[in-house]
Amino acid sequence: MNDILLVEKFKKKTGIDFENTQLLKESITHRSNGDSGSYERLEFLGDSILSFLTSLYLYKKNKDFSEGELSKKRSEIVNRENLAFVFDKLNLDEIIIADRKSLKTLPDSIKEDVVESIFGAIYLEKGLRGVKKFFKLLLKNSREISDEFYAKNQLQELSLVKFKKLPLFKTEVYSNEKFKCKVYLDGKYYAQSVGKTKKESEKKAAKNALKKIYKESV
């Protein structure tokens, strides 16, 4: 892809026009491509910028939130799953520069890195005002976060208060490449669930355990 087409494609996806084409190319180049430059340094910068913009946005929007609540909300936006989701929504795979023989499909870790590196590149070219535009686009295309996102943390906090110990999550491979997780509180079985990943099964099981605890307390 030539430089002019790359800039046009990026603008079509993000609404942002790059003058420094080399900076844009660096932000979307994976080291597998073999060139000396890759997105890794820009990712380092972009990670901090994204965290700052998210913190500022949440601080202004949620005036009644505690520090802990703000941290949880921030993690909804900057976690790997959401950044990979945004990457896919914007179809950024179409412009990534990488060795496609070794990287036939991009893992979520690379998708996350690329989104962060783009934040770094936009900041260097456009400054804070320009990068805020990309941040708004990220918010617009972020996934909806279910109650399961907080369930594991909530169950851990509740178990510490009630039993003075953390819950036990026993997870094993289930059929069709799925995982089954069983939750135990104070040695007692409480709930289970199945998910596509170990993390998903644990969150769902935690949510089911919370439901059971709440019913018991009614």
**Hey, which residues are catalytic here?**
47, 116
CA distance 91 to 122: 18
CA distance 158 to 30: 43
CA distance 66 to 71: 9
Tokens of 16: 């942002």
CA distance 137 to 190: 41
Q: Are 185 and 170 in contact (CB under 8 A)?
A: no
CA distance 76 to 69: 11
CA distance 64 to 60: 10
Tokens of 65: 């939130």
CA distance 184 to 214: 16
